[in-house]
Every structure is written in structure tokens, then in C-alpha cells.
């Protein structure tokens, strides 16, 4: 079939497909029943559910599926590696509440996409990984098919749900199940297996048409129980030092006004987790980010809104939390999240919008936090901000993370609509605290896994969905994981500015090989690499900058032009710390003998 469909004209190609299936059917059935097939039904079912974009990488058996998607008016964004297509789909899902779609070939393509699927599930992003798969009867008997793999079972541990569609008449139902599983309750990654033979299966066109439908209320509201709200209000009433903690579940929920009201009407200070930054502007007077350690240790009641007490929050206990258990209120859509690390005094199960709306109805009965608590926070904030400003105002040569990020901070302040993608170790940790965000769902980073490699995938997904510029703030190591997607960025002419914080290595560039051998140390890269020149190879724009002024200038020019750009920002190679702020997670050797 692939050979028969080589034409590039969509209409012509469509006709060829129909003719192909018709010819086939003429041999089977005497009457001239119009036929449709698996290819068409998959696209029809996605379109029936308002899915307008597929991120993927073509090959047997899904090339024609991608062609048909384009011919039918969908956008197909082709990548150079499936992991990045999957990451683009995942971030698109997070931004829109519609599952992002990633399309891959069998076995290796599927496995490349699986990393992104697992990452989406871990971060609670809705996405669907659709992979073609090889012939079932050969795969199941392990007879050595082309790209043979039991993909459905491989996907299961990493996906929220996994399905295979075997019959053309089940395609609409299969797609509906995948959509519902991805977006309802706690969102996550769903795997949908499409065997090659399904795509070529034909059924009467009318029967196919009748099978199509639109999923109704795919992510139903979940209203919290009244007694759960009462418990939460009671905890707040008895709190002396309350704190609200906003996570990316709150950002995902798109209940921005309700959350603003909750914060402002309660008067309670809040902390945003990294991807919740901008849900309220980071310069909001109640934002306690600049006094983070202080409020976590001192608060006596903490309301978690779409945030998990995982490693990013020191599991809710220990030194970070002042070595004593707090009273936690936890708003979450997933009941099993409650008590995962510490006992939760007031679980509130439901979607963020509904839960916060219910709490707001009674918030007037909660006394405002004491002036003592607010003043203590403000004092800490002022001190820390002054200290940070002093560090930021220095102009070391070569640049360090701080002086480079000062330049980016100012550009983002002047352009609050830009999306930010951020990964690396030091580059991530410093950017998170230095670069303020002003609008919701504009910061996308290494997330729950602390993963490297999301950079270009998230940047492409964010640019395609928002049609607004993206600044990707990338450690040089982090950038390398998805660097080849620069070609994708140029091919689709996306307004993505990638700033590579180039300090010649992982964390920094100064380690030496203790043997004196010619191999460099494990953390070290080629010195003084020019990532900007890579971009020029694909027709994009490259800048090499060594001062904050040059960086500002390059950013402003790139934003004005909207052209795909890489800025190679030369950073002092001694500036980074091992693993950034996670140095303590590196196990220490206890050997007594070398």
C-alpha cells in the first residue's frame, strides 16, 4: 500500500487510497459498496474529537497515516527522534487539556516514544502514544517479524492505560477509550497499539461513518464532598501560620481565577512549584518564593493544591519542614495520592476548580493570617531579595549563571507572553528562582523526574500550541539530548530561541582525568563548542554571546524577528555545582581501599 501511495498531492493521494480499497473490495464483494479503511477511520475518529495536531516520525506501517492526517487538514509535525515528538505531545496535552498525540513506528520507534509516555504519566500530562505494530500472529509466536515487539505489554507499566485495536469497526471506540483514559481523573499517558493489518482493513464506509462519535465530557468535574470541605476549613481556622502550595496540577486545571481568589481572599501566603510559577505573577505580594525555606519550615498548616509531597517537597518531612509534622490539606483529583508520604489531616478529593470553588464559599469564616506571620515572611523576603539582587548585579567575566539569567529575567519581564522551557542542573535551579513568570502555563521544565531531554520537544510543542515565542534555557549537556530537533524547528520556522548555557560540560567543564590519560573526565565536553553554528547549518540564526548585554541584544533581536535562533551563551566553566542543588543525592563511596 505504501508503494501505491507515493503521490504527494493530497487529493490525488486520497483518491488513490479509495481506489486501492475499492479494487480490493471488488474482488471480495460483487456489489459496489463504498468502503473505508483503518487509516481513514483513525484520522476520522481523532478529528471527531477535535484533535488537530499529530507529533511523530514516519515509517512502516504509519507513513500513510501521517500523510492522510495532513491531507485531511490536520497538522503533522515530523521529528528527528520519537522521544521529542512524545515530549511535544505531552506538553501540548498539559497546555490544552486535550491529549497530545504522538505517532511512531513499531518496536524501536515505539520504545523511543515510550520514554516520553512514561514521563507524561509521571508528570500527569495527558498524551496518547499511537504506534504501529507488526503482525500479531508472528509477534506472538516470536517468529522474528520486522520490528517485532510485544508493544502493548511493554507499554503497560509506564502508561496510565494501554489498548490495542484489532478491528476497523472498533477504531472509534478505541480512540474514545484512549482519550478518556488520558484526560479523566489524574491525567496521564495512554498507549494505543495499531497493528499494521488494522490500518489496511476495510469496512463499508457507512458502517465506518456510523461508528464515529465525539467523547462526551471526557474529563468530568469531580465535586468534593461537603465534609471534606468542612475539614479543610477547620484546619485553616486553627492555623497560626498557614501556607498555600500551588503545583502543576493547579496550573493544569485552568482554574486561574478561582486560585487567584483563594489566595487573595484568604490572605494566605503561597509558594508556586516550578511549573505553577505564573499562575499568579511571581511578583505578587503574597508570593513567598523568596522566603521558601523559611515558610516551609515555619508553616503549621499547608494547603497543597495539585502538588505531590514527593522528592521535590522533601516528602513533606525532615529538616526542610522544620522537623515537625504539619497539618496538611491536600486538594487532588487522585484519592490514592493522599497519605502517600505523611498523614493528611484534610484530604479534599476533586478537580481543583470545583474544590477551590467550594472552599471559597466558606473562606470568609477563616480569620486572616496574623500580621506577625506575614511580617516575618516579608522581612525574610526583603533580605533574600536584596542578597540576590547584589549577586545578580555583578558582572563577572566570563558570565556566570546569575549575570546571564539577569539578562533573561529582564527580557521575560518585558515580554510576559513568551513561553519558557528550562532544563539542566545549575541552569535549571538558578533559572527557576531568578526568572519570574507572570502568566499561567508558560513555564515547562524537567518536572517530576528531573529529566534531561525535554528541551526541544517541549519547546516545539509549546510553540505549535501557543503560536507564541519560546525561550528555551538549556544547560549545554541538557541541550545535547534533543539538539537535532533544531532542524525540526527550522523546518517549521518556529519562533524558538534556544539559549545554551555553555560551560563546557555536565555541571561545569573543569574536571580532569585523574590518570592523566587522553580521555577527558566523565563530565567534560569539547571546549568552546559553538552551538550557534549548528543552527546556521539548518538556516536558522546563531549568536555567540559573552556578556549579559550581548545576550539581551540577541534575545531582543530574536524576539523581534521571530526566527529560529540559537544563542551560544559562554558561561564561566568553573561556575557550576555538581548536580546543582541536588549534590546531596549523589551516593558517597564508602570504600576504604581504592
Q: Which residue has the cell 497499539?
A: 193
In terms of CB distance, is 149 or 338 closer to ligand ADP?
A: 338
One of 21, 123, 502, 504 touching ligand ADP (CB under 6 A): 123
- Integer Rg of the chain from CA: 26
One of 333, 456, 470, 575 touching ligand ADP (CB under 6 A): 333
Interface with ligand ADP, residue 249, by CB under 6 A? yes
Burial class (CB within 10 angstroms; exposed 0-12, middle 13-18, buried 19+) of 7? middle
Which three cell numbers mark 91? 506538553
Q: How far apart are CA 132 and CA 196, in angstroms?
A: 6
Site string for ligand TZD, 430-459 (x = CB under 6 A): --------------------xxxx------
Site string for ligand TZD, 559-588 (x = CB under 6 A): -----------------x---x--------
Residue 586 region by backbone torsions, left for phi larger than 0, else alpha for psi between -120 and 50, else beta: beta
Q: How near is the Cβ of 79 to ligand ADP at its closest, in Å?
A: 25
C-alpha distances (whole Å) from 163 to each of 43, 74, 167, 283, 316 are 17, 23, 12, 45, 36
User: Which is it for the CA torsion 204, 207, 209, 211, positive or negative?
Assistant: negative
Q: How near is the Cβ of 484 to ligand TZD at its closest, in Å?
A: 16
In terms of CB distance, is 63 or 579 closer to ligand TZD?
A: 579
53 makes contact, choosing from ligand TZD, ligand ADP, none, with CB < 5 to 8 Å by partner type, with none
Site string for ligand ADP, 187-216 (x = CB under 6 A): x-----------------------------
Q: How far apart are CA 326 and CA 418, in angstroms?
A: 37
The residues in 11-30 that bind ligand ADP, with binding defined as CB under 6 A, are none
- Interacting stretch for ligand ADP, rule CB under 6 A, among 273-281, 367-375, 505-513, 550-558? 273-281
Q: What residue spans of 99-140 are helical by DSSP H? A: 107-123, 136-140
38 makes contact, choosing from ligand TZD, ligand ADP, none, with CB < 5 to 8 Å by partner type, with none
Interface with ligand TZD, residue 403, by CB under 6 A? no
One of 38, 56, 249, 475 touching ligand TZD (CB under 6 A): 475
Q: How near is the Cβ of 122 to ligand ADP at its closest, in Å?
A: 8
In terms of CB distance, is 64 or 429 closer to ligand TZD?
A: 429
Burial class (CB within 10 angstroms; exposed 0-12, middle 13-18, buried 19+) of 3? exposed
Interface with ligand ADP, residue 337, by CB under 6 A? yes
Site string for ligand TZD, 496-535 (x = CB under 6 A): -----x-x--xx----------------------------
Residue among 97, 93, 96, 114 at smallest CA distance from 105 = 114
Interface with ligand TZD, residue 426, by CB under 6 A? yes
Interface with ligand TZD, residue 86, by CB under 6 A? no
One of 312, 360, 484, 529 touching ligand ADP (CB under 6 A): 312
Residue among 103, 106, 111, 109 at smallest CA distance from 135 = 106
Other CB atoms within 10 Å distance of the CB of residue 309? 24
Which three cell numbers mark 577? 555545582
- For residues 499 and 472, is the Cβ–Cβ distance under 8 A? yes
448 makes contact, choosing from ligand TZD, ligand ADP, none, with CB < 5 to 8 Å by partner type, with ligand ADP
Which three cell numbers mark 59? 515509517
Q: How near is the Cβ of 129 to ligand TZD at its closest, in Å?
A: 18
Q: How near is the Cβ of 222 to ligand ADP at its closest, in Å?
A: 8
Q: How near is the Cβ of 183 to ligand ADP at its closest, in Å?
A: 9
Which three cell numbers mark 403? 549575570
Query: Can you spell out the DSSP letters for 24-80?
Result: HHHHH-SS---EEEHHHHHHHHHHHTT--EEEE---TTTHHHHHHHHHTT-EEEE-S
The residues in 163-192 that bind ligand ADP, with binding defined as CB under 6 A, are 186-187
Query: Can you spell out the DSSP letters for 300-357?
Result: SEEEEES---SGGGGGG-SGGGTTSPPEEEEEES-GGGTTSSS--SEEEES-HHHHHH
The residues in 443-472 that bind ligand ADP, with binding defined as CB under 6 A, are 448
Which three cell numbers mark 375? 511580617
61 makes contact, choosing from ligand TZD, ligand ADP, none, with CB < 5 to 8 Å by partner type, with none
Collapsing DSSP to helix, strand or coil, 395 comes out as: coil
Interface with ligand ADP, residue 351, by CB under 6 A? yes
The residues in 379-438 that bind ligand ADP, with binding defined as CB under 6 A, are none
476 makes contact, choosing from ligand ADP, ligand TZD, none, with CB < 5 to 8 Å by partner type, with ligand TZD
Q: Which residue has the cell 485553616?
A: 236
Which three cell numbers mark 95? 497546555
- Interacting stretch for ligand TZD, rule CB under 6 A, among 194-202, 370-378, 407-415, 423-431? 423-431
The residues in 477-496 that bind ligand TZD, with binding defined as CB under 6 A, are 477-478
One of 33, 197, 310, 341 touching ligand ADP (CB under 6 A): 310
- For residues 476 and 531, is the Cβ–Cβ distance under 8 A? yes
138: Cβ–Cβ under 8 A, 6 or more apart, which residues? Answer: 144, 145, 148
- Residues in touch with ligand ADP (CB under 6 A): 123-124, 186-187, 247-249, 252-253, 273, 275-276, 306-308, 310, 312, 332-334, 337, 351-352, 448
Q: List interacting residues with ligand TZD (CB under 6 A).
A: 424-427, 450-453, 475-478, 501, 503, 506-507, 576, 580
Amino acid at each position: 500500500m505504501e508503494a501505491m501511495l507515493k503521490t504527494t498531492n493530497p487529493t490525488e493521494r486520497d483518491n488513490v487510497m479509495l481506489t486501492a480499497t475499492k479494487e480490493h473490495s471488488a474482488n471480495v464483494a460483487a456489489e459496489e459498496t463504498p468502503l473505508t479503511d483503518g487509516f481513514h477511520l483513525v484520522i476520522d475518529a481523532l478529528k471527531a474529537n477535535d484533535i488537530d495536531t499529530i507529533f511523530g516520525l514516519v515509517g512502516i506501517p504509519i507513513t500513510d497515516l501521517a500523510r492522510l492526517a495532513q491531507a485531511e487538514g490536520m497538522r503533522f509535525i515530523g521529528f528527528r527522534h520519537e522521544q521529542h515528538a512524545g515530549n511535544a505531545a505531552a506538553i501540548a496535552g498539559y497546555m490544552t487539556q486535550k491529549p497530545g498525540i504522538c505517532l511512531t513506528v513499531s518496536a524501536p520507534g515505539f520504545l523511543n516514544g515510550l520514554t516520553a509516555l512514561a514521563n507524561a504519566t509521571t508528570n500527569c500530562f495527558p498524551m496518547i502514544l499511537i504506534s504501529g505494530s507488526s503482525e500479531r500472529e508472528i509477534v506472538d509466536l516470536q517468529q522474528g517479524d520486522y520490528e517485532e515487539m510485544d508493544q502493548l505489554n511493554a507499554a503497560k507499566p509506564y502508561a496510565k492505560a494501554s489498548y490495542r485495536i484489532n478491528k476497523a469497526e472498533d477504531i472509534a471506540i478505541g480512540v474514545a477509550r484512549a482519550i478518556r483514559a488520558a484526560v479523566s481523573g489524574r491525567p496521564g499517558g495512554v498507549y494505543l497499539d495499531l497493528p499494521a493489518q488494522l490500518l489496511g482493513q476495510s469496512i463499508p464506509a457507512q458502517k465506518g461513518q456510523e461508528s464515529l462519535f465525539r467523547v462526551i465530557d471526557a474529563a468530568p468535574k469531580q465535586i468534593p464532598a461537603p465534609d471534606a470541605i468542612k475539614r479543610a476549613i477547620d484546619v485553616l481556622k486553627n492555623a497560626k501560620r498557614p501556607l498555600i502550595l500551588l503545583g502543576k496540577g493547579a496550573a493544569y486545571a485552568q482554574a486561574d481565577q478561582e486560585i487567584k481568589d483563594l489566595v487573595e481572599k484568604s490572605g494566605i501566603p503561597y509558594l508556586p512549584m516550578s511549573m505553577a510559577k505564573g499562575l499568579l505573577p511571581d511578583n505578587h505580594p503574597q508570593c513567598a518564593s523568596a522566603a521558601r525555606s523559611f515558610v516551609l519550615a515555619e508553616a503549621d498548616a499547608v494547603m497543597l493544591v495539585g502538588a505531590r509531597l514527593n522528592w521535590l517537597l522533601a516528602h513533606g518531612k525532615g529538616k526542610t519542614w522544620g522537623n515537625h509534622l504539619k497539618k496538611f490539606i491536600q486538594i487532588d483529583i487522585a484519592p490514592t495520592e493522599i497519605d502517600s508520604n505523611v498523614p493528611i489531616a484534610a484530604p479534599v478529593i476533586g478537580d481543583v476548580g470545583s474544590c477551590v470553588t467550594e472552599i471559597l464559599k466558606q473562606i470568609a469564616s477563616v480569620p486572616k493570617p496574623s500580621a506577625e506571620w506575614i511580617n516575618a515572611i516579608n522581612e525574610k523576603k526583603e533580605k533574600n531579595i536584596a542578597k540576590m539582587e547584589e549577586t545578580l548585579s555583578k558582572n563577572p567575566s566570563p558570565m556566570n549563571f546569575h549575570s546571564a539569567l539577569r539578562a533573561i529575567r529582564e527580557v521575560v519581564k518585558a515580554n510576559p507572553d513568551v513561553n519558557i522551557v528550562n532544563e539542566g542542573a545549575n541552569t535549571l535551579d538558578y533559572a527557576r528562582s531568578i526568572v519570574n513568570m507572570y502568566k499561567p502555563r508558560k513555564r515547562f521544565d524537567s518536572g517530576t523526574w528531573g529529566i534531561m531531554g525535554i528541551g526541544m520537544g517541549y519547546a516545539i510543542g509549546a510553540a505549535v500550541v501557543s503560536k507564541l515565542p519560546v525561550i528555551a534555557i538549556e544547560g549545554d549537556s541538557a541541550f545535547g539530548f534533543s539538539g537535532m530537533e533544531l532542524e525540526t524547528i527550522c523546518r517549521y520556522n518556529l519562533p524558538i530561541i534556544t539559549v545554551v548555557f555553555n560551560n563546557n560540560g555536565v555541571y561545569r567543564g573543569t574536571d580532569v582525568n585523574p590518570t592523566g590519560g587522553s580521555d577527558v573526565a566523565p563530565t567534560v565536553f569539547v571546549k568552546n563548542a559553538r552551538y550557534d553554528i549548528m543552527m546556521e547549518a539548518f538556516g536558522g540564526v546563531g549568536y555567540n554571546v559573552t556578556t549579559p548585554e550581548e545576550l539581551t541584544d540577541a534575545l531582543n533581536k530574536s524576539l523581534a524577528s521571530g526566527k529560529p535562533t540559537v544563542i551560544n551563551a559562554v558561561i564561566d566553566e568553573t561556575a557550576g555545582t555538581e548536580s546543582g542543588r541536588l549534590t546531596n543525592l549523589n551516593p558517597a563511596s564508602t570504600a576504604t581501599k581504592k
